[in-house]
Structure 1
Amino acid sequence: MSISVTVHDSQKTIEIAIIGSFDFSLFNDFRAAYSDYIGLSHAYIVDMSLVEYLDSAALGMLLSMRNAVGAECVIELKGANEFIKNILMISRFDKRFDIQ
């Protein structure tokens, strides 16, 4: 499990890729992945295409990110498998995030 960050300066977009389990063990790494860019970016992409497992702590981390970056920023959750996408939809994350 790991996190990588790619900055797309021309688009003012930060892409955060999560690999493996998205759970509480990634709390500090996930927060660090976006916190340095608050106010500098208009859009964030959380690439979940390699996420195998997601727990309630991960949902809480995504909500914390939403609150930290502000409502004017777009956060796209992309690439989630059908099981994880279903969890996001049941949790009504489609109201706060752009789920692709």
Structure 2
Amino acid sequence: MSISIATDDKKDYVTITIIGNFDFSLFNDFRNAYTDLEKSYSLYIVDISNVEYLDSAALGMLLSMKNTVSGNATIQLKGANDFIKNILMISRFDKRFDIK
């Protein structure tokens, strides 16, 4: 389980990549990934293409991120496998996030 962060100041976005299980064990690391940035971005991409498991704590962490980042910013959930995409759709996250 790990998190990596890549920023592109010219294109004004940040990518937060999660590998492994996205669960409560990543709470602090995930929160720090978007709160410890030097600036706010217009696009936050959460790359979950390498996530094998996602629990309710992860859903809560995504909602917390949505409430924390700038109101004008877009949060894109990218690369979800079919199982995780189904969880996101059932939870109606497609209404709050851009799911790719």
Normalised by the size of structure 1, how large is the TM-score? 0.96
Instruction: Map Cα deviations across residues 47-93 of structure 1 (whole Å, 9 max, x no partner).
Output: 00000000000000000000000331100000000000000000000
Structure 1: unaligned runs, 5 residues or longer:
none
CA contact (8 A) 1:39 1:69 kept: no
1:88 is matched with: 88
For the 8 Å contact 1:21–1:51, the answer to whether it is kept is: yes
Deviation at 1:38, TM superposition (A): 7.8
Between the aligned residues of both structures, percent identity stands at: 67
Whether 1:6 and 2:6 are equivalent positions in the alignment is yes
Output the TM-score relative to the length of structure 2.
0.96
The structure 1 segments of at least 4 consecutive aligned residues displaced by more than 3 Å after TM superposition are none
Contact residue 76 and residue 98 of structure 1 kept, 8 A: yes
Structure 2 gap ranges (5+): none
Q: Which residue does 1:62 correspond to in 2?
A: 62
Residue 21 of structure 1: how far off its partner (Å) = 0.1
How many residues end up aligned between the 2 structures? 100
Aligned-residue RMSD, C-alpha: 1.2
CA separation of 1:39/1:9 partners in 2, compared to 1, >3 Å: closer, same or farther?
closer
3-state SS of paired residue (1:70): coil
